[in-house]
Chains A and B, each alone.
Chain A
Amino acid sequence: MAHRNLLYLLSLKELRTRYKKSVLGWAWSLFNPLSQMLIFTVIFIYVFKASAPIGDPSGVKNFPLYFLAGVLPFNFFSLSVGVSIAGVQGGAGLIKKVQFPHEHLVFSVVIAQFITLLIEMSLLTVAMAVIGHNILPWLPMLIGVLVLLGIFSAGIALVLGAANVFYHDVNYLWGILSQLLFYATPIIYNPANITLRPLVLIANYGPTGSFITAIHNIVYDSRLPGPGRMLELVVFAFGSFAIGSWIFNRLSPRFAEEM
């Protein structure tokens, strides 16, 4: 049980030290998605003259909220993995000097990011309510999907965090990969508008696409994702976590030597 305490304290450290020495502190975690929202709204509505997707059956038509509902969970995923990669690398001092479960370096990051995500999503819920769209009845389902997303992210973070110890390229590769994933996920566009078959498949059934589509269903369309979709998410989440844990556990005994 002692190590559960370590996980708790590491997560707390993650949260407490993140915005130390910055005047605006926690507000920064909001500025990033808000500025993204502003940029993409201008491009989407005014440059491409596209119209926002219409929620079915909610009837909501609001690009900024559609965007935020997608980008907040996506950023959580992308940051969880990115910060974990750096976190394992940054834990070198500890890994080389103390024996402790290395995976906690990853889990603490994911937990801290998850708490941030929950705060952001509650603010989004408030924003939805302001335009007259109440998503409170769907909240339990939303939390369930977000938890699955957290488990999925942890799995990817474990693999890449471990791989990065051996090949630092992983860190840079992730920068590019997460950008690709961003565009392969229906965040700034409506997947119904794409016609190219492979792109439709990726957007709808790629791992991040699946999660974001399910979240859009819940908070934007006001309907539950179908059982097929939910099964898909469970498989992605636990598959990623199982493979991630297996790889991480295989590699972590060699960390101290490699760092």
Chain B
Amino acid sequence: MSRDNVLTVEHLTKSFRLHSEKTNSLKALIAGKKRNRYEDFLALDDVTFDVHEGEVFGVIGHNGSGKSTLLKCMAGILQPTKGSVQVTKRMSALLELGAGFHPELSGRDNVFLNAAILGMGRREIAGRFDEIVEFSGLESFIDSPVKTYSSGMYVRLAFAVAINVDPQLLIIDEILAVGDVTFQQKCAEKFVDFRNEGRTIVLVTHAMASVKDMCDRAIWLTHGVVTGEGDPAELVEAYTETMLGGRDRGDGMSVRRGSGEIQIERVEMFVGDSEVPVKRFRTSESIRLRLHYSARKSVPKPVFGFRIEHLGGTALTSPCTRDVGLLPDSISGDGYVEVTMNDVPMLPGTYDLHTFITDFNRQHEYDNVQVALRFDVMTGKPYETGGMITLRPQWQIRS
């Protein structure tokens, strides 16, 4: 595939001066001596890659890996210390939605202003105005000042403007998850349209699922250095391994949040009627989960739940006790919640189980454990080659 490069990043290096205290005053300048109290921090170190026309390119990395700095350099907001960034097509960088929205102005005025900031001419905006408003779904509010908008409406309008700037190269900073489900669906469709029209997208994110689903190629940044480049699925796998590396598989329980009146102490998994805890089972086996809890004081109407995610980050299921109306008036002391699931249709792979305990309204979180249990599903029956679950299809070919 020798297509034209739309974006070329060559030996890009960006360093920041870290002052012990920011010296934005003349006194510090005149006092002089203290000025030397800084360190150079290398946010990007000799980063080189290129993005071809029409591909979806992912940039992954943990927090502080230099993703945002790279993004800002690509968008022309920050100047490289060394090296260069070359963009050959009309670019739109979505770093923040609604940057420059003015609360006192109407939605209409803000659309024009925001589109102008993103580089559109007046006639061009006027031509696309209806499309933008329709996409945002805010027809009846467009002449109200945006300070009266809900945050969801605000973001929808901003996104509608940004996506309609008609860029040949779109750089996006993990903002795919905006608005409600319907709007997200619309955005996803718009991205697919973009891709099908042969436009180029650079996606900077740590949502691994979207990288795997959408990207053709990706790079992986660690402390400002490119540590991997190529197939997104492999990179995501390697990245996830590294992120969780050094941790004893399955004995996670390390990332916990919530108010803590009641907590999940550990999670056990059993296959069939066995009483021996396991961390693996086969497709279509029946399993039982035992969530051991410990309540420091009496907790009224707690809701227990869990979420199973594929290693890539895609959620498979997230049931809770409220779904089935299992609502004890209060719980105190120690005990466990047992969940039985028959003929589990999960396909081979590695999965994470996250647990949560909330109040009845699911507003207040008592406890939330990320990766309470990591387990493997092994090949069983039926055997399938793709996806994460089987719907036990019955095939027939008729002629």
Contacts and interface: CB of A to CB of B under 8 A. Distances in A.
A17 B77 contact: no
A5 B121 contact: yes
A9 interface: yes
A166 B100 CA distance: 22
A99 B71 CA distance: 12
Name the interface size band of chain A: 20 to 34
Interface in B66-90: 72, 75-79
Contact of A167 (B29, B72, B112): B29
Interface stretch (A42-50, A75-83, A221-229, A250-258): A250-258
B122 A98 contact: no
Nearest to A95: B77
Interface string A64-108: 000000000000000000000000000001111111100000000
Given A6-B116, A94-B117, A169-B25, A253 B100 contact: no
Interface stretch (B101-109, B271-279, B338-346): B101-109
B105 A98 contact: no
Given A3-B119, A13-B113, A98-B118, A167 B79 contact: no
Interface stretch (B48-56, B91-99, B260-268): B91-99
B24 interface: yes
Given A16-B105, A17-B104, A98 B24 contact: no
B181 interface: no
Nearest to B97: A97
B121 A1 contact: yes
Contacts of B155: none
B207 interface: no
Nearest to B26: A169
Name the interface size band of chain B: 20 to 34
B216 to A, nearest CB: 26
B77 A99 contact: yes
B383 interface: no
Interface string A1-25: 1110110111011001100110000
A97 B95 contact: yes
Interface string B161-205: 000000000000000000000000000000000000000000000
B321 to A, nearest CB: 43
Nearest to A16: B105
Nearest to A21: B104
B120 interface: yes
Contact of A13 (B16, B76, B102, B122): B102
The 7 closest A-B pairs by CB, nearest first: A99-B76, A97-B99, A6-B116, A97-B96, A169-B26, A2-B121, A20-B104
Interface of A: 1-3, 5-6, 8-10, 12-13, 16-17, 20-21, 93-100, 166-169, 253-254, 256-257
Interface of B: 16, 24-27, 29, 72, 75-79, 93, 95-96, 99-100, 102, 104-105, 109, 112-113, 116-122, 124-125
